[in-house]
Amino acid sequence: MLSKKAQYAFKALMYMAEKKDNQPVLIAEIAKKKKIPLKFLENILLELKKAEILDSKKGKGGGYFFKVAPKDISMAKVMRLIDGPIAMLPCVSLYFYERCKNCDEKQCGLHDMMITVRDATLRILEKKSVADISKQ
């Protein structure tokens, strides 16, 4: 399940993507239009900036803007950045692998099924971008 933080991140990115000119957008504008708590949004946008998805400009005419085109930002990348693993079990995660306690992965039907679920999910999330989910 997507966390509230990830939902807010996608709402903010979609709002920004719908502004076709990629001009800086004020945090307060996004927060108001998308009904996102301002302080929470500040932290989210800062994380997206640190990940080099967004950039910012200070002063008059300042705000956040895309450093990477929305069509090149996969949903999987944003989800991993905000929520961590996409996989439902740590033992099947590609980027956040952890061995499950008291489990033999080679003989675990749940492990095998969750690999199938992970792969199907990633096929969709890696292909879909912020541009795909915005109203462009």
For the chain (length 136 residues), average pLDDT per consecutive 10? 95 94 93 96 97 93 94 96 92 88 83 93 96 84
Q: What is the pLDDT of residue 56?
A: 95
Task: Tell me which long-range contacts 61-68 makes (C-beta under 8 A, separation of at least 24).
Answer: 61/23, 61/24, 62/24, 62/26, 63/23, 63/24, 63/25, 63/26, 63/27, 63/29, 64/16, 64/24, 64/25, 64/27, 64/30, 65/16, 65/22, 65/23, 65/24, 65/25, 66/16, 66/17, 66/22
What pTM was estimated for this model as a whole? Answer: 0.88
Q: What is the pLDDT of residue 99?
A: 87
Q: What is the pLDDT of residue 102?
A: 80
Q: For CA atoms 45, 48, 50, 52, give the dihedral sign.
A: negative
Q: Identify which of 66, 52, 53 has the alpha carbon closest to the alpha carbon of residue 24.
A: 66
Q: How far apart are CA 21 and CA 6, in angstroms?
A: 24
Determine what percent of the chain falls in helix, strand and coil, rounding each to the nearest 5.
55, 10, 35
Q: What is the pLDDT of residue 136?
A: 55
